[in-house]
Amino acid sequence: MKITPLTTVEQGGLMRRISDLESGSARQWYWLEIAQNYPHGAASKKEKILGIALQIFGINACQAILQRLGLTGLALYQIASDTFLRLLQHKTNDAILIIGGVLALLIGFNRLPASQQLAAWCLAIGGAFWQIARIFRTPAAAPSSEAVGAEDSLGLQGLLITAGVSPAVSSALIKGLIQAPQQFLAPLLVNLPDLAPASQPSRAQQYACGALPWLIIGTTSSAIIGALPPVWGGLSVLVLLLLLAYGMHRSAKPLALLAISWLTCGLLAQLTHWI
């Protein structure tokens, strides 16, 4: 699927939107400095949709798609984005493994599609509550420190001077950032560590990453089992879960482990008919 890069006007608009989302931190000024090179203009439909996505899901969750669209300056969020995607992948793996394993057991026990549907629904709701409860019991991480006076300063250069950087060096860093954000990000972070965003997902993102894979996979599995003829529904779900796992990992090894574990569950269930 071809992705159309953002225009310079759309990039500038998104940078200013991200700056608003980062209000009160040094990153607010980071984006405003970069946005100086980009023209103002009426917001396009794409920019509005991406702006809504940023507000709902967070910058770290949207970083990958924004980078593919060509938005400049996103390297600042690379670590946070990687951490978010690893968490989402881990929680999705858990849901795929357990939901698929239970369905394989029920297929092996020759349970009716209605029983398989009920099990999928119970796993969807139970798994979501289990993940939410685990996160709720985990102490929240201490909030990351932000630059003092970020909202009232004269900009990113003022923050650098406050951090002890000489006016000449701070001016050179800002000019370099405006012209080549990727090249000057590393020295900027060395001189202003508070510019880095929190590496861990927010509490709301943790709840979403924990609960949504169970809810989506469980309810979708139940719908597929109900829509297809007996026997084929459960087997089709297992095949689709394998395809989903392949889409995440792009490797044959995780698929083989999943298939072997589900096949073992099904064979053990079948074995009860012979004992």
DSSP codes of every residue in 116-183 = HHHHHHHHHHHHHHHHHHHHHHSPPPPPPP--TTTTTSSSHHHHHHHTT--HHHHHHHHHHHHH-HHH
- Global pTM value: 0.91
Strand, helix or coil at 274?
Answer: coil
From the CB of residue 224, how many other CB atoms can be counted at a distance below 10 Å? 17
pLDDT tens by residue, 167-201: 999 999 999 999 899 899 999 999 999 999 999 99
* Tokens standing for residue 203: 């509490």
pLDDT digits (tens, 9 = 90+) for 37-90: 899 989 999 999 999 999 999 999 999 999 999 999 999 999 999 999 999 999
Give the residue from 103, 138, 109, 105 showing the smallest Cα distance to 124.
103
pLDDT band at 148 (very low <50, low <70, confident <90, very high): very low
Among 86-90, 133-137, 142-146, 210-214, the minimum mean pLDDT is found in: 142-146
